[in-house]
Amino acid sequence: MEIPCSHVLLFFVIPVASHNPKYIMFCSADPTDGFTEVKLTNANFELQKPYDMPLEGRYSFVDGLRKMWFYADDKPHVPSSHTQPCIKVQIKGLDYSSGVWQFEGHCFVPNGASGAMIAPIHGAAHGATALILRIYNGDSRLNIIHDVDGGKVIVFLDRNQVFQVADKGPGDLHFKCGVHGAPANISYYMESRWRDIKIYMK
């Protein structure tokens, strides 16, 4: 069921790319209009998980639904990392440094989650991450357009544009999705579920 313009899920965006983000909310055409879908295979989905856990202990993929979860006392994805634990999919083999690219996925974050970061764009000229999203308490279609040449990232929830921010410059960029703990004040149990993950480009 499409969410009307006046009703959008509670969400937070961490605009690591800019101190002056633009918050926008209006109905629009489908954000994929004018884009070409890039065919994905299993080889394009690389999993990152707590380094001491078997994959099946934090991830399942059944009937097209990717469920990812972790606990606050889990290890990071590599022993040398000092970040919070995570379990996420990296879109592999489609790194980009120019052009206009788009991520799409239907995501669900359970009610009560706190500090769950779900959809980063990794890699930038200044800093490691161009964008980090937090979405709470609901199921939504998420589209993220990264116009590298134009230097901006645009976020859509259920086809409605809700956010635009300047990026941090071109780099070796790629999309990720899953769940990653924020630096502080996170729930003990974190989970996100994803289906219909797609990549588009112009």
2: in domain = no
The tens place of each residue's pLDDT in the chain, 202 residues long, gives: 443 333 334 344 444 333 344 444 455 689 999 999 999 999 999 999 999 999 999 999 999 999 999 999 999 999 999 888 999 999 999 999 999 999 999 999 887 777 777 877 766 554 445 566 666 666 889 999 999 999 999 999 999 998 898 887 777 899 999 988 877 778 899 899 999 999 999 9
The enclosing domain of 54 has a CATH number of: 2.60.120.200
66: in domain = yes
CA–CA dist 24, 75 (Å, integer): 37
Q: What's the mean pLDDT when you consider all of the chain?
A: 81
**How many C-beta atoms lie closer than 10 Å to residue 2's C-beta?**
9
Owning domain of residue 49: 11-201
4: in domain = no
Q: Is the pTM of this model over 0.85?
A: no
How confident is the model over 112-147, as pLDDT tens digits? 777 777 877 766 554 445 566 666 666 889 999 999
95: in domain = yes
Domain count, the chain: 1
CA–CA dist 142, 164 (Å, integer): 14
Comparing C-alpha atoms, which of 174, 154, 173, 176 is closest to residue 163? 154
15: in domain = yes
5: in domain = no
Identify whether the C-beta of residue 59 lies closer than 8 Å to the C-beta of residue 50. Answer: no
